[in-house]
Amino acid sequence: MADLTRDEKERLVDFSHEYFQLVELDLLRWPAPTLLKKPQAQQWLYEMLFENVKYAPPLRYQLRILKRLIKTIEGAIDDPEEDVGCSVS
């Protein structure tokens, strides 16, 4: 697995800033589906947006964002055997 590029990390950081500013769902600048389907991007988003966040957005907002992320990731999967990575910790 390759690490995220600098541009990909910047895109995720930009997205996280909008997320924490509670930008409306349709106004958020979503990362490209090809980036979102990368396991490294998904791990980064999970850690930075949902895990141990001191000042998290309201739960309903988090849920709306999470639903949209999952839908986008699922839509980006072309070949489940290749695109879906599973890790058990």
Count of domains forming the chain: 1
Distance CA 57, CA 24 (A): 12
Structure confidence by residue, pLDDT tens digits, 7-40? 999 999 999 999 999 999 889 999 999 999 999 9
Residue 55 lies in domain: 6-83
Q: What is the DSSP letter of 87?
A: -
Long-range pairs for 51-54 at CB < 8 Å and ≥24 separation? none
Q: Is 59 among the domain residues?
A: yes
Q: What DSSP assignment string belongs to 39-57? A: HHHHHHHIIIIISS-TTPP
55: in domain: yes
Per-residue pLDDT band for 78 (boundaries 50, 70, 90) equals confident
pTM of the full structure: 0.82
- Phi, psi torsion values for 14, nearest 5 degrees: -60, -45
Percent of the residues in the chain that have a pLDDT greater than 90, as a whole number: 75
